[in-house]
Amino acid sequence: MGKTEELVSWSHEQKCRKAVAALEKNEFTAHYCPTPQEAADYIITAAADAATVGFGGSMSIVSLGVESLLQEMGKEILNHGSTELSREEKIAIMRRQLTCDLFLSGCNALTLNGELVNIDATGNRVAAMLFGPQKVIVVAGRNKLVDGSPQDAIARVKTWATPPNAKRLSFKTPCATTGFCSDCSSPDRLCRVTTIIDRKPRITDIHVLVVNSDLGF
């Protein structure tokens, strides 16, 4: 690592650690992970006693490569993202994710005040983050950090997360063509459910891994 990269990484680390401290103040279990591998290792360890593991459709989680490792451990994988599934099969898996042993998700934006901000099209992902699974692990790369309010975080999601997600999913929205949010009324509109988790829900065991690497959108 060159000097410039070293200093940039150091700067990101300070922001990541500030977010972790704020998350802990907000009663989440939070960890700073210097590398994606450390986040992956954390997930594998946390999954030791889990029989079922749900995936919330996160590119951040995909990039960690944990699904195949969990399969090798004998875990039942609940992933509705497979193109081979029918609509009914996808919905059935989404419902089972609500009561799985371990639910894995990314985060669209994380403020330095420790607030998790997400926007869903269906709401299954954020529903599982809030209540149901025995344990929830949220992975947030440094690119998801927002030094501002939840409204700034929402703007971050609509600017940087929703357009590439719409394009990835082949949704027919203006942002999937232009790359810019137009607050559309498209039938395929992704921005339908917005959640701000500013304190850990009372019953849900949420672990947030803040990673010093760019992950997902």
| Helix residue ranges, H only, the chain | 3-25, 36-46, 59-64, 66-72, 87-97, 124-130, 150-156, 162-168, 174-178
Q: Read off the pLDDT of each residue in 17-21 and give the average, rounded to a whole number.
A: 98
Angle at 142 between CA 139 and CA 146, to 5 degrees: 100
Structure tokens at 193: 């459910």
What is the distance between the alpha carbons of residues 184 and 189, in angstroms, rounded to a whole number? Answer: 7
- pLDDT recorded at residue 209: 99
Extents of the domains making up the chain: 3-211
Identify the CA nearest to 102 among candidates 214, 217, 204. Answer: 204
For domain 3-211, give the CATH number: 3.40.50.10420
Q: What is the pLDDT of residues 22-47, one digit of tens each?
A: 999 999 999 999 999 999 999 999 99
Q: What is the pLDDT of residues 80-135, one digit of tens each?
A: 998 899 999 999 999 999 999 999 999 999 999 999 999 999 999 999 999 999 99
pLDDT at 1 over 80: no
Q: What is the pLDDT of residues 155-194, one digit of tens each?
A: 999 999 999 999 999 999 999 999 999 999 999 999 999 9
What is the distance between the alpha carbons of residues 34 and 12, in angstroms, rounded to a whole number? Answer: 10
